């Protein structure tokens, strides 16, 4: 069993950014955690192949929560690799499938009405992006404390950033995959709340961060910032 960090570099408005999806290798199969923005399918494919893996090994995709940078390429992944099982929490599944308007879109629409005129173009572009996201049914929903992949991985509820956010504990590797429940600043040595300005419930996000820290794992794989080795 192994966790592979997949640094994905991209340019936005002339600035360079990185995301860090995680890849779990288990029994010669691959489990991808989160899928990047829309259009990121080839970037993540290249990152996986660069690490020496074959996309035919990809068997599962775990979505930590509904946000454009986490589910953006999910529809494309499922279209190209239809055998893949998509997994999320019950709460996030209704947003991923499009059955219910996502919390993030509701938040973005509410913020748009409060923005000063000079910021409304940006706010509208974010609403338009969220509205354009393509949806697919979730194949398997999970709950807090549930074990996945023959007991190799435990689901832990880490709400706050979104209501149904989950993280993953991998005891054999003394590791946690945090999604957006935590992030690491550049060259940082501590876990912080990711994007607090977008948290739907900041006090709850702070509790979830404490929960993750209290696990005292040796390795924290953060979607924003990379990996913290303690």
Per-residue confidence (pLDDT) for residue 152, from 0 to 100: 97
Cβ atoms within 10 Å, residue 132: 10
pLDDT of res. 186: 67
Whether pTM > 0.85 for this model: the answer is yes
Q: Which pLDDT tens digits describe the chain residue by residue (230 residues)?
A: 999 999 999 987 778 889 999 999 999 999 999 999 999 999 999 999 999 999 999 999 999 999 999 999 999 999 999 999 999 999 999 999 999 999 999 999 999 999 999 999 989 999 999 999 999 999 999 999 999 999 999 999 999 999 999 999 999 999 999 999 999 986 678 999 999 999 999 999 999 999 999 999 999 999 999 999 98
Report the alpha-carbon distance of residue 22 to residue 111 in Å, rounded. Answer: 31
Which domains does the chain carry?
Answer: 2-100+135-229 (3.60.15.10)
| Alpha-carbon span 88 to 139, nearest angstrom | 8
In sequence order, which residues have a C-beta less than 8 Å from that of residue 216 and are 6 or more positions away? 230
CA distance 190 to 171: 21
Residue spans of alpha helices (H) in 72-222: 74-80, 90-96, 103-114, 120-132, 202-214
């Amino acid at each position: 069993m192994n966790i592979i960090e997949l640094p994905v570099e991209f340019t936005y408005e002339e600035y360079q950014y990185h995301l860090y999806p995680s890849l779990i290798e288990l029994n010669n199969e691959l489990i991808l955690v989160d899928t990047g923005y829309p259009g990121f399918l080839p970037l993540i494919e290249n990152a996986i192949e660069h690490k020496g893996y074959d996309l035919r090994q990809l068997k599962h995709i775990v979505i930590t929560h509904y946000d454009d940078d986490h589910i953006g390429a999910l529809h494309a992944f499922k279209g190209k690799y239809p055998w893949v099982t998509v997994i999320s929490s019950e709460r996030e599944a209704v947003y991923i499938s499009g059955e219910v308007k996502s919390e993030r879109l509701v938040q973005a629409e509410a913020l748009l009405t409060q923005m000063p005129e000079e910021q409304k173009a940006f706010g509208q572009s974010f609403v338009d992006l969220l509205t354009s996201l393509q949806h697919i049914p979730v194949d398997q929903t999970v709950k807090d404390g549930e074990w996945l992949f023959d007991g190799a991985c435990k689901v832990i509820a880490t709400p706050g950033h979104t209501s149904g956010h989950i993280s993953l504990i991998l005891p054999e590797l003394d590791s946690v995959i945090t999604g957006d429940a935590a992030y690491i600043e550049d060259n940082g040595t501590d876990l912080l709340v990711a994007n607090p300005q977008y948290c739907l419930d900041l006090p709850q996000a702070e509790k979830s961060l404490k929960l993750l820290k209290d696990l005292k794992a040796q390795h924290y794989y953060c979607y924003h910032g990379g990996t913290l080795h303690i």
